[in-house]
Amino acid sequence: MKYRYLLFDLDGTVSESAAGIRASLEHAIRVIGCPMPNLDDYTLYVGPPLIDTFLHLCGLDPETAERGAQLYRDYYQEKGKYLNRAYQGIPELLKKLRREDVRICICTSKYEPFATEILDILGLSDCFDAVCGSNLDGSRKDKKDLIPYAVSRLGGDLEADRERVVMIGDSWYDAQGARLCRVDFLGVRYGYGATEPMERQGVKAFADTPEELDALLRA
């Protein structure tokens, strides 16, 4: 296999998570009392950093956005995370990759402890060497910051190992992070993101299923 370091996005790539994210977002918006935006388009809030959703989608000021993010986290911790499901074929793919000479991690804008708990819920914790996410204060929320951190957590160095790193995700945010870090990006079409924005950021190839993703990793 060409790659040594495989960085998987979580929401929309490993986990079918929109239901829990939407429920938590709706709860926070109701408590704050601001107008409820149309949440039918999952691409608007599954993938972007949480604080950005409250700032831009909900139009809140920074202080209220921080309150919204905390309300979201509290509800997600209590109820939302249990609505996650692994995409069909993902457990089989990850178990197959564990037999290869590769290092695998989750690379997500989600708060890192939440991401760890979700993998436990999905029964996939043993499939990853590390879980890499954002901090509670909102730092390390962008993929351009997460990718170097993730490679380091896996025992590599981005500068030295760039050609052996691949970011795998379903959104513009994943593709942009890969471009800024100058690593390959493989997009998945079964998630929540639109194809065209990923294409504009640069994508090596797209997979419609986890089985196709397996073939691309071995190409």
Question: Is residue 139 located within the same domain as residue 196?
Answer: yes
Average pLDDT estimate for 202-212: 97
Mark whether 9 is an active-site residue. Answer: yes
Backbone angles phi, psi at 85, to 5 degrees: -135, 145
Question: Is residue 158 located within the same domain as residue 109?
Answer: yes
Q: Which of 55, 82, 109 is the endpoint of a domain?
A: 82
pLDDT digits (tens, 9 = 90+) for 39-75: 998 888 887 888 999 999 999 999 999 999 999 999 9
Question: Is residue 68 located within the same domain as residue 122?
Answer: no
Report, in this order, helix, strand and coil percent for the chain, each rounded to 5.
50, 15, 30
Cβ count within 10 A of residue 160: 9
| Contact between residue 93 and residue 188 where contact means Cβ atoms under 8 Å apart | no
CATH number at residue 124: 3.40.50.1000
Q: Give DSSP secondary structure letters for 57-115.
A: IS---HHHHHHHHHHHHHHHHHTGGGG-EEPTTHHHHHHHHTTSS-EEEEEEEEEHHHH
- pLDDT above 80 for 148: yes
Question: Is residue 49 located within the same domain as residue 93?
Answer: no
Give me the catalytic one of 9, 11, 170, 184.
Answer: 9
pLDDT digits (tens, 9 = 90+) for 171-194: 999 999 999 999 999 999 999 989
Q: Which of 66, 82, 98 is the endpoint of a domain?
A: 82
Range of the domain at 163: 5-16+85-217
- What confidence tier does 196 reach under pLDDT thresholds 50, 70, 90? very high
Question: Is residue 207 located within the same domain as residue 151?
Answer: yes
Question: Is residue 97 located within the same domain as residue 204?
Answer: yes
The CA distance from 156 to 132, in Å, is 14
Query: 64: Cβ–Cβ under 8 A, 6 or more apart, which residues?
Result: 32, 34, 54
Question: Is residue 112 located within the same domain as residue 212?
Answer: yes
pTM over 0.85: yes
Question: Is residue 52 located within the same domain as residue 89?
Answer: no
Question: Is residue 189 located within the same domain as residue 119?
Answer: yes
Element (H, E) at 195: helix 195-201
CATH number at residue 40: 1.10.150.240
Question: Is residue 108 located within the same domain as residue 48?
Answer: no
Beta pairing, strands 85-86 & 15-16? antiparallel
